[in-house]
Amino acid sequence: MNQARSSLLAILLLVSTTVAPALQAQADSTRSRPLFTTGDAALVAGILLGARLIHPLDEHYRLRLQDSSTQANKKLQTLSAAVRVIAAPGAYIIGGTLYGAGRLAKNPKLARLGLHGTEALIVGEITATTLKGLIGRARPYVGAGPDDYGFMRGFSNNAFKSFPSGHSVAAFAAAAAVTSETSRNAPSTRWIVGTAMYGGAALVGASRMYNNQHWASDVIVGAGIGTLAGLKVVRYHDSHPGNLVDRWLLAGSLVPNGQGGQSVRWSVMPDLSSRPAAR
């Protein structure tokens, strides 16, 4: 059991290597910054290097986590199931709820948090799904080993959709988007919110390995894709105020209905008031 705990701790540490550069990248997420920066390149390089270094240990970590005593641990089983559901479909439900609550309560910050978080999930999922299909890596439970790849076969068989981890992408996309949005509104909370969000995302990645669905390198790359998706979505909206998505989806509001209550008014046309004046 001590070995299993050591393995889980090592995995969480490896996955969490994305936290520091991600939080640093969020610090310069302003309207004056370009969408892609040298910091992003450094983050990508770090993720790829981490995945390359851990690849030879993929089988080692799989065996440690699939040990009979580890798999029989009820607490680990419960935790794994809980964080998996929170990541997907939970992240979509949470994002949609935040967006809806923000719109109904006329709280634009809350609505943006839910909307941009959900956008990050979609961008990350599209990227992950494409890579899964093209790379066609066998999942650990297949028993073919960590070096079994097959071009395009991931599009037709779920057993060969191991790389990257989709749940890790979702968890880290949500973590990056939420941390970016909240750190902009309350900069002093960046490290508190970031540590909690990225720590939870790391647990999601570890749970996918515990469930024998992904290799450690799948999780590392999934964490990187999700982090970048979250950062880029928020930075895009920061640098493109009044963009089409925000004009369409952040335009409705609650208005008095003349009978002492409230009704929802939703614009069919985009909110043109946020457009720059014509020159």
Which residue has better confidence, 190 or 213? 213
Map residue 263 onto helix, strand or coil.
Answer: strand
Structure-block tokens of residue 101: 């609550």
Q: Tokens 């996955």 correspond to what residue?
A: 15
Question: Shortest CA distance to 239 belongs to which of 29, 25, 43?
Answer: 29
Residue ranges per structural domain of the chain: 2-252
Q: What is the pLDDT of residues 156-171, one digit of tens each?
A: 999 999 999 999 999 9
Instruction: Tell me how many degrees the CA angle 206-233-248 measures, rounded to the nearest 5.
Output: 130
140: cis peptide before it, omega within 30°?
Answer: no
pLDDT at 188: 82
pLDDT class of 132 with cuts at 50, 70, 90 = very high
Q: Please give the model's pTM, rounded to 2 decimal places.
A: 0.80
pLDDT at 263: 46
Q: Average per-residue pLDDT in the chain? A: 81
Q: What is the pLDDT of residues 181-193, one digit of tens each?
A: 888 778 888 888 8
Structure-block tokens of residue 1: 């059991």
Question: Shortest CA distance to 19 belongs to which of 51, 43, 53?
Answer: 43
Structure-block tokens of residue 4: 């299993």
Task: Judge whether residue 145 has pLDDT over 70.
Answer: yes
Task: Judge whether residue 270 has pLDDT over 50.
Answer: no
Top mean pLDDT of 13-27, 98-112, 236-250 is at 98-112
Contacts of 23 by beta carbon, 8 Å cutoff, 6+ apart: 179, 183, 190, 191, 194
Structure-block tokens of residue 188: 């002093």
Q: What is the pLDDT of residues 14-23, one digit of tens each?
A: 555 544 445 4
Outline where DSSP puts E strands in the chain.
253-256, 262-265
**How far from 105 is each of 1, 118, 180, CA to CA, in Å?**
49, 19, 22
The torsion defined by the Cα of 136, 137, 139 and 140, in degrees rounded to 10, comes to: 160
